[in-house]
């Protein structure tokens, strides 16, 4: 049995996953926990190179949907074996901004690939590194994109490849996440992300305290 705990954040665009993951990291450190933050795609040199292809079109050509699936899986496999599993074996609490459920939601429900096929690809990639809890930050797609657009204006960020998808795609993704939460109710915790960041943070902390206990 692994000594550490594995916590993942999931949800539609604009739900505040990165913000809440980093706030949780601070809370855990203040509580004296050994913690590690990582993200998907990315988290390793190989994964970050793949991230540039997936999010910022660095390959210089359009990706076919099947290639997208396998690039996400490749980044994940590297992250699990180089970072996540070793940290869990040391007793570290690992906080990950997106994980395997993103592929099931975005490429399964969003792109229309077989959900069971996406689950099988994920299982091969993660080598048993199932999260102890998945925090699903849920909010309407329209609200999420209002937040994304506000952030982009403030930080002068470009729209990434996934954010450019049609709103109908993102609606399918959101519905997919909610179906996954119904399918695995003991792992998923669905959190209302329309609330203030402070309110969401408190809910996240209450859930995580229960997991750590």
Strand order across the beta sheet in which 93-97 lies = 35-39, 93-97, 5-10, 133-138, 188-192
Average pLDDT value for residue range 105-109: 98
Q: What is the pLDDT of residues 23-65, one digit of tens each?
A: 999 999 999 999 999 999 999 999 999 999 998 888 888 899 9
What mean pLDDT, rounded, does the chain reach?
94
pLDDT at 8 over 70: yes
Residues paired with 37 in a beta bridge: 95
Query: CB-based burial of residue 92 (10 Å sphere; 0-12 exposed, 13-18 middle, 19+ buried)?
Result: buried
Query: CB-based burial of residue 64 (10 Å sphere; 0-12 exposed, 13-18 middle, 19+ buried)?
Result: exposed
Residue for token pair 């119904």: 182
pLDDT at 72 over 90: yes
Cβ atoms 51, 162 nearer than 8 A: no
pLDDT given at position 26: 97
pLDDT given at position 156: 67
**Sequence-ordered alpha helix ranges (H) in the chain:** 17-30, 45-56, 65-79, 85-90, 100-103, 115-126, 141-155, 167-183, 197-212
Domains and CATH numbers, the chain: 5-212 (3.40.50.300)
Q: 156 CB contacts (<8 Å, ≥6 apart)?
A: none
Its pTM stands at 0.94
Residue 72 tokens, joined: 């996400």
Q: Which residue would you say has higher pLDDT here, 59 or 183?
A: 183
pLDDT given at position 148: 85
3-state secondary structure of 9: strand
* Percent of the chain with pLDDT strictly greater than 90: 85
pLDDT at 180 over 80: yes
The model's confidence at residue 106, banded by pLDDT at 50, 70 and 90, is very high
Q: What is the pLDDT of residues 130-165, one digit of tens each?
A: 999 999 999 999 999 999 888 777 766 777 778 888
Average pLDDT value for residue range 184-198: 97
DSSP state letter for 83: I
């Amino acid at each position: 049995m692994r000594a550490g705990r594995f916590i993942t954040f999931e949800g539609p665009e604009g739900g505040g996953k990165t913000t809440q993951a980093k706030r949780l990291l601070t809370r855990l450190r203040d509580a004296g926990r050994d913690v590690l933050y990582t993200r998907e795609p990315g988290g390793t040199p190989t994964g970050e190179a793949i991230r540039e292809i997936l999010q910022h079109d660095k390959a210089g050509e359009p990706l076919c949907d099947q290639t997208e699936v396998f690039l996400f899986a490749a980044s994940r496999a590297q992250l699990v074996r180089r970072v996540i599993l070793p940290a869990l074996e040391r007793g570290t609490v690992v906080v990950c901004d997106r994980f395997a459920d993103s592929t099931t939601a975005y490429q399964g429900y969003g792109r229309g690939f077989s959900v069971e096929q996406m689950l099988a690809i994920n299982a091969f990639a993660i080598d048993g590194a199932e999260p102890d809890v998945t925090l699903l930050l849920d909010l309407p797609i329209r609200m999420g994109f209002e937040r994304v657009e506000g952030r982009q204006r403030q930080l002068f960020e470009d729209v990434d490849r996934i954010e450019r998808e049609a709103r109908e795609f993102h609606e399918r993704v959101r519905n997919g996440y909610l179906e996954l939460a119904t399918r695995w109710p003991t792992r998923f915790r669905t959190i209302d992300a329309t609330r203030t960041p402070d309110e969401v943070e408190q809910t996240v902390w209450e859930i995580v305290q229960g997991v750590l206990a």
